Every structure is written in C-alpha cells, then in structure tokens.
Amino acid sequence: MPTDTTPAPIVVGVLDPEVETALLEYAGRLAATSGHPLRLVHVFQANVLFGDPILGLPGAMQPQSMIIDDSAVGRLADELLGEATAIARDVVAGAVDVSGELLRGHAAHVLIEESEDAHRVVIQRRGFSRIHRIFTGSVSSRVSAHAHCPVTVVPEGWSAEGRTGVVVGVNDDKSDMQVLGHALGEATRLGEPVTMLHGLDLPALHGDLVDHATTRDWTARGEQYLADLVEKARDQAPEHRLTPLATRVFAEAPADALATASEEARLVVVGRASHLNAFPHLGGVTRALLREAGCPVEVLPLPN
C-alpha cells in the first residue's frame, strides 16, 4: 500500500516469464525511468469454477478430486513468480524496488482491485487466436475497461528497437485533454516526439456520398480543434512545451489509422469511451487497438 511519501507501484500481471520477456522489459524500464516501484502479481485460478466477479458472480470452488491438486498449482505459480521477479530486478538494475505476490482468484478481477492503489497496470497481450479469445475472454480488455488507473498492454514479443514517437488518438470528447497531457508526459519521459491523430471516419458517414467540399470543411474543423487542443495543453503543462508535437486529421476509420501508426511507434495512448448506463466500456477503436496494435497501447480511464 503506497503512502504519502512512497510512489504508487506499477502493477505487472505475470503468468509465464518465458513468454513475457517483452512485458518485463517494458515494465522494468518504465519503473526505472519514472521512479515507481514494481509490484509483480501472479494470479492463479486453481479450483475456481464459473462465475464472473466483475458482474457480481463470484463462482464456486471445484472439488479437489476433480482437478490437479491445488497446492501443486500454487507451488508452480510461486516458482514462475520468482523467475519473473528475478528478471525484473535485472532490468531495473537497482533503480527501484521490485516485489512479487502470489494471489488467487479471477485474473481480471484481481488486477482491477490492484489498480485502485496503482500508478499503472501493465499486462501482456498473448498471441491467442480470435476463436480462443471469444471463448476465454480477454484479460487485457476487461482490465482496460474497468481499471482505476492507466493500463498498458504490451504485445507479445514486442521490441522498441527501430521504433520512434508517441501516438495519441483524440475523438473530440471530454477525455481528449487528459489523453493528450498523458501522452506529452510519456513522450517527455522517453525523449520522443508526439503525433496527435484525429479521425473523421467519413466512410461511416456514408463516405460515398460525401463531396470534396464537405471533406475539406470537416478537415478544417478538425485541424482547428487540434490546434486549440495543443494550445490549451501547452498552457496547462508548460514543462512539455519543448516536446515536438505534430497533428494530423484523416478521413478514414480511426482504428485503422491508429493501428497503422502503431507499426512504427513506441507507444499509442488512447482513452476509454464514455460510460453507458454507468458501466465503463472501451469503445470499438480502443478494443480494436488492444487486439491489433503493433506497439504497447496505454488506455486511460475517464477523467473524474
């Protein structure tokens, strides 16, 4: 539990360190450059059957005799956590503290609870097939939709080599200032430029019927909106005034444009969509990015 003088931890959800080298490398470098301690969490779900704690359905305990012995699963999980902790300590090289804890329950639910006191939650996107995700659900999507702090999802096997820039997607809503400010902060930490993208998604507005004059008008409005957003962000955070910032308005599906930009970027920053009936949700663009992006994606909760 962080105190007034202790920075909030970066919580890392780990499963198997053999396939999570990109995750541990990213989280370790983030911790070392930001000064936040690392808290590695391994969640094992032995003997947990059915249920969904996020929806208020706690599930039930499956009888010991029907599955692998619970204590054996716990011992294996503890070994994996120890391996991951050792790797993370090598990455941070003493810059910050690294701790690990073995927890039991539903992975998404545990990480959402951990996010209440966290600076950030970092998890890895596994290389599962679309069919597998349909039947098992996506921990990264569920955590990103419900977490109380920013969530970074790192693609399996990702490397920063040859990548440059922080890309931020804005959508003309109340979260844009928060998203841009966060992106500028990350870019400053990384020593990278920022590119802000705003998609008009004219195809969704019956693009075949939109004439050039309408496209120019929408583009001009979008460019003015971005210019105003940049001026406001610079005024609110003068420490980021020297961070290079480019803007781009495009008349195509935002998810496609952001996914394309992610193939060369070091980070993409987006916000969560607005609440529907008091339930947070990701929105189609963010959900698509978590599935397809070629670099880490950081999802911010809605501003209070």
Residue 262 has pLDDT above 90, yes or no: yes
Confidence bin at 106 (pLDDT 50/70/90) = confident
Among 186-195, 257-266, 277-286, where is mean pLDDT lowest?
A: 277-286
What is the mean pLDDT of the segment spanning 79-87?
94
Q: How far apart are CA 225 and CA 222, in angstroms?
A: 5
Regarding predicted confidence, which is higher, 48 or 97? 97
Tell whether the model's pLDDT for residue 41 goes beyond 60: yes
d(CA 178, CA 275): 16
Residue 8 has a pLDDT of 97
- 10-155 sits in which CATH class? alpha beta
User: Cβ(139)–Cβ(106) under 8 Å?
Assistant: no
Residue 102 in this model has a pLDDT that exceeds 60: yes
CB-CB contact of 226 with 170 (8 Å): yes
Query: What helix, strand, coil percent values describe the chain, rounded to 5?
Result: 45, 25, 30
How far is residue 67's CA from residue 179's CA, in Å, rounded to a whole number? 45
- Is a pLDDT exceeding 70 seen at residue 81? yes
In the predicted model, is pLDDT for residue 63 greater than 60? Answer: no
pLDDT single digits (tens) 151-193: 999 999 999 999 999 999 998 777 899 999 999 999 999 999 9
Q: pTM (2 decimals)?
A: 0.85
Q: How far, in Å, are 50, 133, 218 from residue 138 at the CA level?
A: 16, 6, 36
What pLDDT is stored for residue 104 in this prediction?
83
CA 28 to chain centre: 15
Please, which pLDDT band fits residue 239 given cuts at 50, 70 and 90?
Answer: confident
Which is more confident, 149 or 45? 149
- Of the two residues 47 and 37, the one the predictor is more confident about is 37
The domains of the chain are located at: 10-155, 166-300
Distance CA 181, CA 256 (A): 23
Residue type for 226, please? L
Give CA separation, 234 vs 161, 181, 239, 245, 301, in Å: 29, 9, 8, 10, 22
Of the candidates 287, 222, 288, the residue with the CA atom closest to the CA atom of residue 251: 222
**pLDDT at residue 6 above 90?**
no
Mean pLDDT for the chain? Answer: 83
> Are 267 and 295 in contact, with CB atoms under 8 Å apart?
yes
Contact 254, 197 (CB under 8 A): yes
Does 10-155 match 166-300 in CATH topology? yes
Angle between helices 70-92 and 21-34 (to 10 degrees): 50
CATH for 166-300? 3.40.50.620
Sheet holding 166-170, edge to edge: 98-104, 38-44, 10-14, 120-125, 151-155, 297-300, 267-271, 166-170, 194-199, 245-250
Residue 125, beta-bridge partner list: 155
* DSSP codes joined into one string, 194-223: EEEEEE--GGGGTGGG--HHHHHHHHHHHH
User: What are the tens digits of pLDDT across the range 114-130?
Assistant: 999 999 999 999 765 45
| 205 pLDDT more than 60 | no
Q: What is the pLDDT of residue 70?
A: 59
* pLDDT level of residue 68 (50, 70, 90 thresholds): very low
Whether the predicted pLDDT of 133 surpasses 70: no
Length of the chain: 304
